[in-house]
Amino acid sequence: MRKVLIVDDHTVVCEGIKRVIEDINGVHVWETVHSGEEALQALRKDKVDVVLMDVHMPGIGGLGATREINRLYPDTKVIALSAIDDAPYPAKMMEAGASGYVAKGSDMSELIEALEAVFSGQQYLSRVVAQKVALAKTSKNGSDSPFGELSDRELQVAQMIVDCVKTKEIANRLNVSDKTVSTFRKRIFTKLGIESDVELARLAMRYNVLGLV
């Protein structure tokens, strides 16, 4: 019996995915948790074959959790789930050690395909993600997302800024000081060539890489 751990900060999403997966013969949803930190705690208790990992969550997020799982539990595979299918997230998640990336807008049959592929030792990109990654690689007009220049943590902070999370709350979620958050903000603005939160939001909308997910 293949064991799957579902990680998503939206309970309704966890339950929906769980219902789909439990209809697959030989697959058991071992547990559902709501953050990257909880995922790591769960994996300390028992071995899991595949983790279905939401990309955007408070705390270390999907990127940080995937990197830790790849380091601590190399036999456990991760399939990223996200409402965002544009670069840089697919590339960054695969670099962090994910074996698959499925857009949340995809048909549930793609999630089943992804699980079957990863169970058999292959990698999987949902069709819409694969198309966009291929287009980005062959782009000749320099339109690749500037968000690709940001580090994992900077992307996480940028996400929260766009979501109108205040500096103190960002600091609390990341367990850092307000000053550190301000430093991240300055680095983000410098790398993206912008000067305000409004410009960041506009740029995020233009490249469709950030948002409420």
Can you give the CATH number for the domain in which 93 is found?
Answer: 3.40.50.2300
Token digits of residue 151: 């580090």
Within 10 A of 33 (CB to CB), how many other CB atoms are there?
20
The 8-class DSSP code of residue 55 comes to S
Report whether 6 contacts 18 (CB < 8 A). Answer: yes
Q: What distances in angstroms separate CA 138 from CA 70, 93, 127, one per listed residue?
A: 29, 20, 17
Residue 138 has a pLDDT of 47
Q: What's the one-letter identity of residue 184? A: F
The answer to whether residues 42 and 129 belong to one domain is yes
Residue 213 lies in a domain: no
Residue 212 has a pLDDT of 38
Q: What's the one-letter identity of residue 196? A: S
Residue 6 lies in a domain: yes
Nearest Cα neighbor of 193 from 206, 181, 203, 207 is 203
The answer to whether residues 22 and 74 belong to one domain is yes
Residue 18 has a pLDDT of 92
Residue 74 has a pLDDT of 94
Which residues of the chain carry a pLDDT beneath 50?
138-143, 212-213
Q: What is the pTM of this model?
A: 0.74
The answer to whether residues 132 and 151 belong to one domain is no
The answer to whether residues 40 and 20 belong to one domain is yes
Residue 166 lies in a domain: yes
The answer to whether residues 77 and 130 belong to one domain is yes
Start-end of H helices in 52-166: 61-72, 89-96, 108-119, 127-138, 152-162
Residue 142 has a pLDDT of 43
The answer to whether residues 70 and 105 belong to one domain is yes
The 8-class DSSP code of residue 147 comes to G
Residue 31 lies in a domain: yes
Question: What is the spatial distance between Cα 165 and Cα 126, in angstroms, rounded to a whole number?
Answer: 31
Question: What is the spatial distance between Cα 192 and Cα 104, in angstroms, rounded to a whole number?
Answer: 27
Token digits of residue 186: 């300055």
Residue 79 has a pLDDT of 96
The answer to whether residues 24 and 127 belong to one domain is yes
Give the H or E element holding residue 54.
Answer: strand 50-54
Domain around 151: 146-207
Last residue of a domain, one of 82, 108, 137: 137
